[in-house]
Amino acid sequence: MAEGTWAFYYLQAEDGEDRSHPNAFRIPGAKEITLSDVHKHFPLGNPSGFHFRFRLNNGDTFYWMDVASPSAVVPMVNGRVICKVLRLHRPTKKGLVLTRKPVYTLKGVAAPRTASSGPEPKRPAKYSDTPVEPKTTSRPSAPAPKAAPKPQASGESFEDFLAGAPKTATPPVDLMDGGGATWSAPKATPPVRRPSPPPPPVSAPPKDFNDDCGQTVGPVTLADMDKHKVSADGSQVYNPDLVDKSTKSDHVRAAMLQREADKAADIERARQELLARDQAKTQLEAAKASAVIALGPKLKNWAEDNGRKKNIRTLISTMHQILWPDAKWAEVNMGKLLTPNDVKKQYRRAIMVVHPDKAGGRTAEQLVIAERIFDAVNSAWDEFARTEMK
Domain at 71, CATH number: 2.40.240.130
What would the pLDDT profile of 306-331 be if each residue is shown by its tens digit? 889 999 999 999 999 889 888 888 88
d(CA 277, CA 132): 99
Are 36 and 23 a contacting pair, CB within 8 Å?
A: no
State the DSSP H helix or E strand holding residue 53, giving kind and residue range, or none if neither. strand 50-58
Band (pLDDT 50/70/90 cuts) for residue 74 is: very high
Question: What does DSSP assign to residue 73?
Answer: B
Domain boundary among the residues 25, 54, 87 is at 87
Predicted local distance difference test score (pLDDT) of residue 372: 92
Predicted local distance difference test score (pLDDT) of residue 31: 74
CA dihedral 246, 249, 250, 253 (to 10 degrees): -60
Q: How many domains does the chain have?
A: 2
Note whether residue 117 is domain-resident: no
Using a 10 angstrom Cβ sphere, with 0-12 exposed, 13-18 middle and 19 or more buried, the burial of residue 327 is middle
Is 167 a residue whose pLDDT tops 70? no
Q: What is the mean pLDDT of residues 29-35?
A: 81
Band (pLDDT 50/70/90 cuts) for residue 264 is: very high
Are 36 and 70 a contacting pair, CB within 8 Å?
A: yes
Mapped onto helix, strand or coil, the DSSP state of residue 226 is: helix
Domain boundary among the residues 87, 111, 138 is at 87
Domain boundary among the residues 32, 63, 87 is at 87
Note whether residue 193 is domain-resident: no
Note whether residue 285 is domain-resident: no
What would the pLDDT profile of 230-248 be if each residue is shown by its tens digit? 555 555 555 666 677 788 8
Q: What is the mean pLDDT of residues 120-146?
A: 60
Note whether residue 337 is domain-resident: yes
Note whether residue 354 is domain-resident: yes
Note whether residue 229 is domain-resident: no
Predicted local distance difference test score (pLDDT) of residue 178: 46
User: What is the domain range of residue 38?
Assistant: 4-87
CATH number at residue 347: 1.10.287.110
Band (pLDDT 50/70/90 cuts) for residue 2 is: low
d(CA 120, CA 175): 71
What would the pLDDT profile of 204-231 be if each residue is shown by its tens digit? 666 655 555 555 445 555 666 666 555 5
Give the full edge-to-edge strand order of the sheet including 23-27: 23-27, 5-11, 81-87, 50-58, 61-66
Give the bridge partners for 82, in sequence order.
Answer: 8
d(CA 198, CA 220): 47
Predicted local distance difference test score (pLDDT) of residue 246: 82
Note whether residue 359 is domain-resident: yes
Predicted local distance difference test score (pLDDT) of residue 223: 66
Are 298 and 291 a contacting pair, CB within 8 Å?
A: no
Is 37 a residue whose pLDDT tops 50? yes
Contacts of 154 (CB under 8 A, 6+ apart): none
The rounded mean pLDDT for the chain is 78
Predicted local distance difference test score (pLDDT) of residue 79: 86
With CA atoms as reference, report the closest residue to 83 among 61, 51, 41: 51
Q: What is the mean pLDDT of residues 103-122?
A: 58
d(CA 81, CA 25): 10
Note whether residue 64 is domain-resident: yes
